[in-house]
């Protein structure tokens, strides 16, 4: 795995989603939590939820390269990008 691979991506989605949701309920000011939720939602094909959570993650932690990287990959995965 690369240096951009967060620990939460190494776990199965069924294990990660409840943990990420619980973390978001504990502290809504942690951008990394929203990046984790966004990635999970993207993999589950919840496009609107993923985009919303990626934007929230970047809003909370604008210097987080992981959130920016995976949001860019998410956006590039759709045919409507220019």
pLDDT digit string, tens, across residues 5-61: 555 555 666 666 777 777 777 877 888 888 888 988 888 889 999 999 999 999 999
pLDDT score, position 2: 44
Q: Going by C-beta distance under 8 Å and a sequence separation of 6 or more, which residues neighbour residue 26? A: none
Q: Give SS3 for 62.
A: coil
pLDDT score, position 23: 72
In the chain, pLDDT over 70 holds for what percent of residues?
77
33 class by beta-carbon count within 10 Å (0-12 exposed, 13-18 middle, 19+ buried): buried
Tokens of 1: 């795995």
Structural domains of the chain, with CATH: 16-76 (1.25.40.10)
- Contacts of 42-48 with CB under 8 Å at 24 or more apart are 42/70, 42/74, 43/13, 44/13, 44/17
For the full predicted model, state whether its pTM sits above 0.75: no
**Residue with more model confidence, 63 or 12:** 63
Rounded to whole angstroms, the Cα distance separating 55 from 62 reads 10
């Amino acid at each position: 795995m690369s240096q951009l691979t967060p620990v939460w991506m190494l776990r199965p989605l069924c294990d990660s989603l409840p943990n990420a949701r619980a973390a978001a309920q504990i502290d809504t000011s942690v951008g990394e939590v929203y990046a984790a939720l966004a990635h999970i939602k993207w993999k589950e094909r919840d496009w609107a939820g993923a985009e919303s959570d990626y934007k929230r993650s970047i809003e909370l932690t604008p210097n987080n390269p992981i959130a920016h990287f995976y949001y860019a990959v998410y956006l590039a995965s759709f045919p409507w990008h220019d």
